[in-house]
């Protein structure tokens, strides 16, 4: 794949995101692209899609990017539909514990959560993505708390 120059990459990112990105935000995002994650069209589009799904997400956190990869693999490896109960079992397999109120909030756009309801995986993508980043944020917070207590 052909590497993009910075101007092409930023234009593509903004096009996929659907809005302009500030100079400061782009400057902070550029270091994400390196040897393991080259500045190619596919990666730029992928990051912009994540930013669209999770606007408050800090894309510079490697664990967040990795959790998105896991969510994508999870969706790719399953049938096209899954029940609410199977989704909860899937979260348990990945050691993701979600408070019921948080789950309710995530499922608001889908008219609520039901264990018996069958969902399309593509409609669950934002929920699965949110669950994985939720787990990462909680782990980061736990580490930060232990550092504060130790210091």
pLDDT in tens, 19-30: 999 999 898 888
Same domain, 25 and 49: yes
8 confidence band (pLDDT: 50, 70, 90):
very high
pLDDT at 150: 66
Q: Which domain holds residue 141?
A: 61-151
CA distance 96 to 67: 12
CA distance 36 to 39: 10
Same domain, 38 and 20: yes
- Which two three-digit tokens encode residue 114? 């039901």
Same domain, 77 and 146: yes
Same domain, 21 and 68: no
Question: For residue range 93-137, what is the model confidence (pLDDT) as tens digits?
Answer: 878 888 889 899 989 989 999 999 999 887 887 888 788 778 777
141 confidence band (pLDDT: 50, 70, 90):
confident
Same domain, 13 and 77: no
Same domain, 93 and 137: yes
Same domain, 3 and 39: yes
Same domain, 35 and 81: no
pLDDT at 49: 82
Provide the domain count of the chain: 2
CA angle 27, 6, 22 (to 5 degrees): 40
Same domain, 72 and 144: yes
Same domain, 8 and 35: yes
Distances in Å between the Cα of 44 and the Cα atoms of 28, 30, 57, 129, 131 are 14, 10, 15, 18, 23
Same domain, 20 and 70: no
Same domain, 72 and 121: yes
């Amino acid at each position: 794949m052909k590497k993009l120059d910075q101007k092409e990459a930023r234009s593509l990112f903004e096009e996929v995101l659907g809005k302009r990105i500030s100079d400061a935000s782009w400057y902070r995002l550029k270091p994400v692209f390196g040897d393991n994650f080259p500045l190619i069209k596919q990666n730029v589009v992928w990051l912009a899609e994540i930013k669209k799904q999770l606007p408050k997400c800090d894309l510079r956190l490697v664990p967040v990017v990795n959790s998105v990869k896991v969510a994508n693999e999870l969706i790719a490896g399953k049938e096209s539909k899954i029940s609410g109960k199977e989704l909860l079992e899937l979260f348990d397999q990945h050691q993701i514990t979600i408070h019921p109120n948080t789950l309710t909030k995530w499922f608001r756009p889908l008219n609520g959560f039901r264990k018996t309801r069958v969902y399309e995986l593509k409609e669950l993508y934002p929920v699965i993505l949110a669950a994985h980043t939720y787990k990462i944020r909680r782990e980061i917070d736990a580490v930060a708390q232990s550092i504060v207590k130790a210091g």
